[in-house]
Amino acid sequence: MVQQIFCRALVSASWLSGAIKTRPLGAALRVVDSTWYAPGGKDARKDFAEKHIQGALFFDMDQCSEKSSPYEMMLPSESQFAKYVGSLGINNQSHVVVYDCDSAGMMYAPRVWWMFRLFGHNKVSVLDGGLRNWLKQGLPVTAEVTEVKPHTFQTKLNRCLLKTFEDIQENLSSTKFQLVDARGEARFRGPEPKPGEGIGPGHIPGSLNLPFSSLLTKDGYEKSVDEIRKLFQEKGVDLTKPLTATCHRGVTACHLALAAFVTGKQDVAVYDGSWSEWFHRAGPEHKVYEKKGTKA
């Protein structure tokens, strides 16, 4: 039973609640809250301190990133990731369950799920429906602090799950893989970016658009396998062929990787820099922007 759970990308609230009740929380089962808010917004760490799933630890996505990069939320190095997750009491035998508090049900948890897999750890799951539905089911939360001892975590980079700027640039001519963008249509095509972001709308030439929100039910759960397959098919995406996901900062792209994974496709790569990097580095001829029926 446990080994079957390890193979699942998603676990239910009822499964996690039962696991917490029947086994002592520790290195064997680590629950992490990956909630993140944009600067100037709410304080995710403060919210966590006030209310979280029993035994959960806070996974700080800002801290576990490459701070020297000019682009948002870029991946940390292997050594940085190993040190950070080890500090959370996670080792290579841990089953990690990730959730977040977003009103959509799941927003940032798939990013952390993908990061663990990228660094060679496949015993990782996302809590389907997130804290929103955990609370909706009347399951308990706490403000208690969980103390953990650091563990040793060893990484083994799975390079096939990661694409760089150079990889995407080369693919413009080689078309070795399909590129699918998880942002909403207005950001993918235009018309305008949100005020103050400093990044215009548009997309990488040849990319297809499948907004991550379409993969979730109105209640914030992952849609069924059949529904997911149909969504990819309707967007012209062939799940039998190589696929890379992109978005604004490499976060919601991981929703596409997660959705494809539950259909059986486990090799979807993510363009880490995504549009925030592409917008600043690519030439104008490699940025597609549509406005009022025109394409620029």
Bridging pattern class, strands 294-295 and 290-291 = antiparallel
Residue 17 amino acid letter: S
Contact 13, 134 (CB under 8 A): yes
Q: Tell me, yes or no, if 247 is annotated catalytic.
A: yes
The interaxial angle of helices 109-118 and 253-262, nearest 10 deg, is 70
Give, in order, the Cα–Cα distances in Å from 213 to each of 104, 173, 245: 8, 30, 14
As given in the structure block, the two tokens for residue 73 are 């939320």
How many of the other CB atoms lie within 10 Å of CB of 38? Answer: 8
Residue 13 amino acid letter: A
Query: Rounded to the nearest 5°, which phi and psi values hold at 64?
Result: -90, 65
Catalytic residue, chosen from 64, 101, 247, 254, is 247
Contact 282, 246 (CB under 8 A): no
As given in the structure block, the two tokens for residue 139 are 């399951």
**Using CA atoms, how far apart are residues 30 and 46, in angstroms rounded to an integer?**
20
As given in the structure block, the two tokens for residue 105 are 């049900």
Contact 185, 211 (CB under 8 A): yes
Active-site positions?
247
